[in-house]
Amino acid sequence: MRHPKRTLIALLVCVVGLVAVLLGLHFAPSGDSSSSSSSLETTQLYSHKDSDLVSMTVKNAQGTYTIVPDKEATAKAASEAAASASAAAASASSSGSSASSSASSSAAVQTVFKISELSGVSASSDTIETTAQDGYSLSALKTIGSAASLSDYGLDNPIASFTSTFSDGSSVTVLIGNETPLDTTARYIKLKDKDTIYAATLADNLLKGKNAYLSTQVTSIPTVSSASTTASGSAATAPSFSKIDVKNQSGSFGLARSGDDWTVNGRPADSSKVETLTSALSSISASSVEALDPTAEQLKKFGFNSPVSELTYTSASGTGTLLVGGQKPSDTSSADSDSTDSGTYEYVMLKGGRIVYAISVNGLPWLTQKAFDLQRLTLVSNTSADIAGVKLEGSGVDYQMVVTRTKDESSSTEDQPVYTYKTQCNGKKLSDETSYTKFFDKITGLQVLEDSTAAPSGSPAYTLTLNGYDAKVRHTYQFYKVNDRRYLVTADGQTFGLFNSTDVNALLAAAKAVK
């Protein structure tokens, strides 16, 4: 019987042998290398500091572009770092801390890079930096050795290359070939005029065109403090829009802001719905960049000869117009969309801009919206605590209610006054205050049923007037009978929409019940 310990040792030897074989094959192509051996150890091909890189020219199937230091951005970063170090030192000094900030103040600032061909447009500095890192310092995962046939590695006709030039006058050119068989994140490479082949991981964008570095952030509108406060007592913030005009296939509408309130085509807007729109508009991210400096033919292809939507905004940071062209064919849409993405994209560009983006329709809520979609549905937004007087008259109806409030000193605080209320109807004190409460509930419960842009004709059947304790609060609502089922209602002279006659009749009944 075989000894268990010997059996275990034999199995371990087999496993180690198998791992060694797999590692040997991991980076090997189907062809044989002419080198007698290969190394699994990381090899430093070249190593310079970021500040040594003068230029890095990348060539691939998408074209050619050059990465160079951005002197202005680097100087700005250095200034900000120095200011931060100075502030940290001052803070440490004032707190009596013995910690020194000399390290942070003397630390070298990382060089910021840019792409020469992308001057004047917003590009991702982080993405450019990732590519530039391969330009000034590169290590190989494995040394393959020399080869009898470069075609086995895709290096007879490289799919890409880059040439880096350094401040000492030296340069290096890296040729990029096929993916390695078992690791698609690694590729075969070799230095120009050298025989040794290596396997290395490289920045993805070395195989892409310059457009891959363009920022996909289309809008970034800052927020400002609003007059309202949050539940915690801190000031609320909102995107700093003051005006938004939209044209789409459903028509057109305009949003205007006054304080914390919005109107849509002159009617009171639903703040939460407008907030959804402004939140989307304030930070639009594209799925991809489709074109830079498009030709007239490309613009026509993308649908900008006849945009399906045009949105113009005014904000504290400026104005802009977003154009939505045609829909991007679904078979070319990104497969990397997130779970909230519908998979439908539209071509979008800023009017006067240089970039065409593909953006999910989920991020373009105004594309199909109508004015009525954003309108406030409730006719009256005031609460009973705001109103000192209510008048309802017309068609034989005449109710005048006056509400007197008295401050309850025992219950009030400095910040929060408390009042008691007494109501009179047509000069008589109410015996049942709840009857007025029920009547006012009918007022605040009135909701528009259908949109209408018609101007009222004839005389109103009823007129409802609300006067607040604040003299600025005064609203007049007029009800024009359209038929037995509908009333056309105006709010302060502006058509609000069509209301159900059942709700109007309920209001009249509640007024009659006030006693």
Nearest to 59 by CA among 179, 211, 209: 209
Single-letter code of the amino acid located at 155: L
**pLDDT grade, residue 339 (50/70/90)?**
very low
Three-state DSSP string of 19-83: HHHHHHHHCCCCCCCCCCCCECCCEEEEECCHHHEEEEEEEECCEEEEEEECHHHHHHHHHHHHH
pLDDT for the residue 184: 87
Predicted confidence (pLDDT) at residue 11 exceeds the cutoff of 80 = no
**pLDDT grade, residue 182 (50/70/90)?**
confident
Predicted confidence (pLDDT) at residue 425 exceeds the cutoff of 90 = yes
Q: Classify residue 318 as left (phi > 0), alpha (psi -120 to 50) or beta.
A: left
pLDDT for the residue 86: 78
**Are 279 and 187 in the same domain?**
no
**Are 395 and 476 in the same domain?**
yes
| 219 vs 350: CA distance, rounded Å | 9
**Are 195 and 245 in the same domain?**
no
* Per-residue pLDDT reduced to its tens digit, 133-144: 999 999 999 999
**pLDDT grade, residue 225 (50/70/90)?**
low
**Are 58 and 197 in the same domain?**
yes
For 415-457, the DSSP string reads: S---EEEEEEETTEE-S-HHHHHHHHHHHHT-B--B---PPP-
Could you list the residue range(s) of the whole structural domain that residue 168 is in? 43-87+107-213
pLDDT for the residue 288: 94
Confirm whether 407 is domain-assigned.
Answer: yes
**Are 208 and 293 in the same domain?**
no
**Are 134 and 176 in the same domain?**
yes
Predicted confidence (pLDDT) at residue 38 exceeds the cutoff of 60 = no
**Are 254 and 358 in the same domain?**
yes
Predicted confidence (pLDDT) at residue 14 exceeds the cutoff of 70 = no
* Per-residue pLDDT reduced to its tens digit, 456-472: 999 999 999 999 999 88
151-173: average pLDDT: 98
**Are 312 and 351 in the same domain?**
yes
Nearest to 142 by CA among 37, 19, 47: 37
Question: Of all residues in the chain, what percent carry a pLDDT higher than 90?
Answer: 77
* Number of domains, the chain: 3
SS3 state of residue 14: helix
Q: Classify residue 414 as left (phi > 0), alpha (psi -120 to 50) or beta.
A: alpha
| 368 vs 374: CA distance, rounded Å | 12
Domain CATH code at residue 63:
2.60.40
**Are 366 and 488 in the same domain?**
no
Question: Of all residues in the chain, what percent carry a pLDDT higher than 70?
Answer: 83
| 474 phi and psi angles, rounded to 5 deg | -150, 120
Predicted confidence (pLDDT) at residue 332 exceeds the cutoff of 60 = no
Confirm whether 478 is domain-assigned.
Answer: yes
**Are 206 and 315 in the same domain?**
no
- Single pTM value for the model: 0.78
Element (H, E) at 237: strand 235-239
**Are 369 and 471 in the same domain?**
no
**What's the angle, vertex CA 330, arms to CA 295 and CA 360, rounded to 5?**
80
pLDDT for the residue 108: 65
Under a CB-based contact definition with an 8 Å cutoff, are residues 479 and 489 in contact? yes
Confirm whether 128 is domain-assigned.
Answer: yes
Confirm whether 293 is domain-assigned.
Answer: yes
Confirm whether 442 is domain-assigned.
Answer: yes
SS3 state of residue 2: coil
Half-sphere exposure of residue 398, counting CA atoms within 13 Å on the CB side?
Answer: 3
Confirm whether 164 is domain-assigned.
Answer: yes
pLDDT for the residue 85: 77
Predicted confidence (pLDDT) at residue 95 exceeds the cutoff of 70 = no
Q: Classify residue 437 as left (phi > 0), alpha (psi -120 to 50) or beta.
A: alpha
Q: Which of 5-14, 34-43, 166-175, 336-345 has the lowest mean pLDDT?
A: 5-14
- Work out the mean pLDDT of the chain and round it to a whole number: 88
SS3 state of residue 226: strand
Q: Which of 102-106, 160-164, 309-313 has the lowest mean pLDDT?
A: 102-106
Confirm whether 97 is domain-assigned.
Answer: no
Nearest to 451 by CA among 368, 366, 377: 377
Confirm whether 491 is domain-assigned.
Answer: yes
**Are 61 and 173 in the same domain?**
yes
